[in-house]
Amino acid sequence: MLGDLGQPYPPFSRTSSEFWFDDGSIIIVCGDTGYRVHKGVLAFNSAVFKDMFAHGDADPSCNEMLDGCVVVRLDDESDDMLKLLRALYSRKWVLMLFLPPPDILKTRCRFARGKTVITFELLNSLLKLSTKYAFDELRSELVEHLILMFPSERADYAQDKARTILPADYDPAIAVEFGISYNIPAITPTACFEVALWSLPKLLDEGSGFIHLSTAPQVSNTLKWFFADEPGVYVLRIAYDGVEKDIRWEDPKAEVCGPRGGEGMFPHLYNGLKLGKNEVESVVFWKNEGGFDEALQKAEGWLVY
């Protein structure tokens, strides 16, 4: 069978040991791995696959076939597809091992009723494909799980109910990217708030969550450019539902002072905060040649963006 430009389809070098069913009706190929699974399972859970199978190809001869199954080649990572299929076929696999507090135990979210904390790495894989292929039920459960970690209500955040479900790779910077990349605005205000409380060395650390995702270099480079070009004392104040937090960064070589708007400095932080409703009241950056206290004394003149 020929692919684009009349060239033969490249063979996949291995079949999945977990997901190669003798009665499978479709072969999904990601990278060098083939998965022989069931059209019905995919169509039942995914609106995209349902439409794909309903319309099919007008010319069956155009389809790549193997052992009587249509072969569908996707540009997704093999590891991401493996995790998605595990979530679809094995309900036990996605349950968590921890014992949640009573308030969380009442949730309908199955990711918060099991015995293992779901990692951000796994969340990213599942969110990526459940969003792309409209696995709506799975995506809704993932979003509900994230909202437990990043609640939109101040009272819920203050009670810190979700600490027991935080994974070892918990990173609010990555959660900001989840909110932006996967259209989950409910988590962005709290995630941005937590990132804003980081020290600048941590924020600029090459190992931080900012550099793990596609937009990371833009954020990191913007910060480095700004602080390298205009040394001084900077104060970031965020008013979050009436609770104000101030963060400082200082350079003794400061020569000028003045208020600076946040959009050009922290584009993702600023845009994420704008997605909030009433929780985030202001985001202000202040540069001052004096000390931190002097900068705070001039806070009355800060412009609210």
Tokens representing 166?
Answer: 């935080």
| Assigned domain for 267 exists | yes
245 and 211 within one domain: yes
Amino acid 220: pLDDT: 46
**Could you tell me if residue 11 is inside a domain?**
yes
CA distance linking residue 51 with residue 157, whole number of Å: 40
User: What average pLDDT is seen over the chain?
Assistant: 67
pLDDT category, 249, cuts 50, 70, 90? very low
**Inside any domain, residue 188:** no
Mean pLDDT for 248-258 is 36
Instruction: Quickly count: other Cβ atoms within 10 Å of residue 297's Cβ.
Output: 12
Pairing of strands 280-288, 233-240: antiparallel
Do the Cβ atoms of 111 and 143 come closer than 8 Å? no
Question: Is 179 contained in some domain?
Answer: no
Q: Which residues pair with 202 in a beta bridge?
A: none
Each residue of 192-216: b (16+ CB within 10 Å) or e? bbbbbeeeeeebbeeebbbebbeeb
User: Where among 42, 69, 86 does a domain terminate?
Assistant: 86
Q: What range defines the domain where residue 138 resides?
A: 91-170
- Check residue 93 and give its pLDDT: 64
Confidence at 152, pLDDT banded by 50, 70, 90: confident
| Same domain? 233 vs 262 | yes
Measuring CA to CA, how many Å separate 197 from each of 47, 190, 235?
40, 11, 11
**What pLDDT shows up at residue 205?**
60
Query: CB of 25 within 8 A of CB of 67?
Result: no
| Choice among 57-61, 70-74, 275-279 with the minimum mean pLDDT | 275-279
With cut-offs at 50, 70 and 90, classify the pLDDT of residue 133: very high
CA distance 7 to 1: 9
Lowest mean pLDDT among 21-30, 35-44, 198-207: 198-207
Domain membership flag for residue 78: yes
Statement to judge: residues 210 and 295 lie in one domain? yes
Domain count, the chain: 3
pLDDT of the residue at 201 = 60
